[in-house]
Amino acid sequence: MDGMFRETSRRAFLRGSAAAAAGATVGGAAAAATPDPLITEVQDWASFTGTGVDEVPYGMPIHFEKDVIRRNVEWLTASPISSINFTPIHALDGTITPQGCAFERHHSGAIELSKPDYRLMINGLVERPLVFTYDDLERFPRENHVYFCECAANTGMEWAGAQLNGVQYTHGMIHNMEYTGIPLRLLLAEAGAQMDENLWVYVEGADASSNGRSIPMAKALDDVLVAFKANGEALRLEHGYPVRLVVPGWEGNMWVKWLRRIEVTDAAVESREETSKYTDVLEDGTARKWTWVMDAKSVITSPSPQSPITHGAGPLVISGLAWSGHGKITRVDVSKDGGVTWETARLGKQGDTKALTRFYLDTNWDGSEMLLQARAMDETGYIQPTKEQLRELRGENSVYHNNCIQTWWVDESGKAENVEIS
C-alpha cells in the first residue's frame, strides 16, 4: 500500500465523511440483529432480474455515462465537416481509448467507403504500380501495436493563455488504440519501390480533402502501418474505415484516413497540409518545417475542471496521461504548487513506445488550494517545457505543437480551473 495512505488518516476518513454519507460502517452481529437501512437497500438489489443475453448484440455505455462523449466547440471552426471534436479524457482512466469516444478530425467530413469498393494504389518510383483490394491486404503479414494519435493542434488554443475550461478541450485531440495493420514497407517492397533514404512517399485519402502528406522514406520503412483494425475490431467510419495509415509518434494529420494512394516520389510534395497548415511561424516570419514528431507531453486529467474533487481533504488520487512521439515515457513529476516543488508519480504500467502512459500520484490533500502541474520525461532525456520556454524558441505566432506544462488551479472546495501562471 502506498505510504501516503496512512492507516490512521484513512480510518478517520472512512469513519468520518464516507461512513456518514453511506449511513454506517457495519457493526457485524449488531448489524444483523438490527438491520441497517443501507444493508436493506443493498439486499433490495438482489430482488429483481436484469437484461438477457439476447437483448443487446452490440452494447453501448450505460445511460448514467451519457455525458462521457466526444464534444465539439462550434465557434472553433466554420463548418463541422472541416473541424474537430475532443475525447472525454477527463472521464477515462487506463490507457486505451474506446473507438466510440475517440476524437475525430476531418477536413471534408467522415466518408462511407465499403470494403468491396476499397482500393489502395501504390505508384510513382516503383517497378510495378499496383492496386490492392481490401481482400488483398488481408493476405499480407500484419502486426499489433498500441499507439497514440495526437492532432498537431492539440492544446493550440492555449498558446493564447488559458482559453478552454476542461482537459477534454485543452488536451482531448488525442486517442490511443491497439492497431492491427501491415507494415508499409511490405507493400512498398511488393510494388518494387525504390527505397533510397532521400526519397519520400506521398499519401492521400479518398475523402474530398485528400489530405495529402509527404513522409520521408526512412519513416515509411520504419514503423508505419497500413491499418484496418483498432482495439480488435474494424476501424469505425470516423477513423478511416476500412483502412487508415498509422504513423507512430507523428502528428495526427499524417495518419491519413480512407487511405487511397501511396506515391513514391523524389521530393516532398509541399502540399497545403504541410505548408499553409501544420507548420509554426516563427518570430522572424519563417516557418518551422517538417515538425512531424509530437514531443513529450503530459496533463492531469483528474482533478481537472470537468473532474473536480467532490470529497474533502484526505486521500486523493491525482491521475493523468503522458506520451512522447520519440519513444517511451520514463518519468512523470507532479507539482501541487505551480512548479516550485515536484513529486514523482507512479506509472500505471511501463508504457509502450509512442503510446499513452497513465500516471498516478496517490496523495493526501490538506484541503488548501493547489496549482497542479504534470511534467513528462521520455527515454531521450527530453523534459516537457513550460510555455515560457516554448515561447523563447518559437515566438508568439505558433498555432500548432504546443506541448507545454498545463496548470489547473484547484480551490478549497475542490473545483478546478484552467489558469496560466507566470
For residue 331, give Cα distances in angstroms to 248, 258, 296, 346.
20, 36, 11, 8
Neighbour-count burial of 169, counting CB atoms closer than 10 A to its CB (0-12 exposed, 13-18 middle, 19+ buried): buried
109 binding a copy of itself? (CB under 8 A): yes
Q: CB of 396: closest distance to a copy of itself in angstroms? A: 29
318 within 8 A of 372, measured Cβ to Cβ: yes
One-character DSSP codes across 353-386: TTS-EEEEEEEEE-SS-EEEEEEEEETT--BPPP
Of 410, 398, 328, nearest to 373 by C-alpha is 410
Q: Any bridge partners for residue 293, and if so which?
A: 250
Candidate list 70, 244, 326, 336; residue touching a copy of itself; CB under 8 A: 70
290/77 Cα distance (integer angstroms): 25
Q: Exactly one of 195, 293, 317, 419 binds a copy of itself (CB under 8 A); which one?
A: 317
Residue 350 interacts with a copy of itself (CB under 8 A)? no
**Taking contact as CB under 8 A, which single stretch among the options 53-61, 244-252, 278-286, 382-390 is the one that binds a copy of itself?**
53-61
Tell me which of 8, 40, 55, 340 binds a copy of itself, using CB under 8 A. Answer: 55
β-bridge mates for residue 315, sequence order:
364
Least Cβ distance, residue 316 to a copy of itself (angstroms)? 7
Shortest Cβ 288–a copy of itself spacing (Å): 27
Residues within window 128-147 making contact with a copy of itself, judged by CB under 8 A: 128-133, 135-136, 138-145
273 binds a copy of itself (CB under 8 A): no
By CB under 8 A, residue 223 contacts a copy of itself: no
Out of 154, 170, 231, 353, the only residue in the binding site for a copy of itself (CB under 8 A) is: 231
Judged by CB under 8 A, the chain residues 363 through 422 that form the site for a copy of itself are: none
Contact (CB, 8 A) for 382 and 295: yes
Classify residue 300 by burial, with Cβ atoms within 10 Å: 0-12, 13-18, 19+.
buried
Residue with cell 499496383: 130
The CB-of-98 to a copy of itself minimum distance in angstroms stands at: 5
Amino acid at 136: D
**What's the min distance (Å) between Cβ of 165 and a copy of itself?**
19
**Cβ proximity to a copy of itself, 58 vs 197, nearer residue:** 58
Residues near a copy of itself (CB under 8 A), total: 134
Q: In 3-state terms, what secondary structure has residue 34?
A: coil
Considering only residues 201 through 220, tell me which ones interact with a copy of itself, judged by CB under 8 A: 206-208, 210
195 binds a copy of itself (CB under 8 A): no
92 counts as binding a copy of itself under rule CB under 8 A: yes
Q: Closest separation between CB of residue 338 and a copy of itself, Å?
A: 24
Q: Is 335 helix (H, G, I), strand (E, B) or coil?
A: strand
Pairing of strands 370-378, 329-335: antiparallel
Question: Do residues 24 and 31 lie in contact, with contact meaning Cβ atoms separated by under 8 Å?
Answer: yes
Q: Which of 157, 216, 222, 236 binds a copy of itself (CB under 8 A)?
A: 236
Q: Applying CB under 8 A, which of residues 314, 320, 325, 385 lies at the interface with a copy of itself?
A: 314
Q: Does residue 3 interact with a copy of itself by CB under 8 A?
A: no
Alpha-carbon gap, residue 293 to 216, rounded angstroms: 12
Q: Which is nearer to a copy of itself, 98 or 339 (CB)?
A: 98
Binding of a copy of itself by 110 (CB under 8 A): yes
Based on the shown chain and the rule CB under 8 A, indicate whether residue 105 belongs to the binding site for a copy of itself.
yes
Give the C-alpha separation, 105 to 257, whole Å: 10
**40: helix, coil or strand?**
helix
Q: Which of residues 238-257 bind a copy of itself (CB under 8 A)?
A: 238, 241
Chain positions 291 to 310 lying near a copy of itself, rule: CB under 8 A, are: 310
d(CA 288, CA 273): 14
